[in-house]
Amino acid sequence: MGETSNLQREIQEHYIGNKPFTNNSNPQLVWSKTITGKQSDIKKQADAIRKMFQEDSDGVLYRLQSRLPLGGITWG
């Protein structure tokens, strides 16, 4: 999980192998959220999202997957 001001560039960096965490793997974006507002509000929202993932990453992933269309999404 990370933050970026340019999601398209970040996705491209992962797919071409410029990110060590996803290098030599098949990275998939499963969720994104646009956060706007004052910098302090943005930080609070981002911290809350991080905490949610840290406390129950499997549960969060299950909830995200349940929102996918029947049959999932074909990548690539």
Could you write out the three-class secondary structure of 7-68? Answer: HHHHHHHHHCCCCHHHCCCCCCCCCCCCCCCCHHHHHHHHHHHHHHHHHCHHHHHHHHHHCC
In a domain, 59, yes or no: yes
pLDDT digits (tens, 9 = 90+) for 8-19: 888 888 888 888
Which residue has better confidence, 27 or 16?
16
In a domain, 42, yes or no: yes
In a domain, 74, yes or no: no
Give the chain's domain count.
1
Domain limits for position 52: 7-66
- Token couple for 74: 């074909």
Mean per-residue pLDDT, 71-75: 55
Res 44 pLDDT > 80: yes
In a domain, 73, yes or no: no
- Token couple for 20: 């060590």
Residues 6+ positions from 39 with CB-CB distance below 8 Å: none
Mean per-residue pLDDT, 3-28: 81
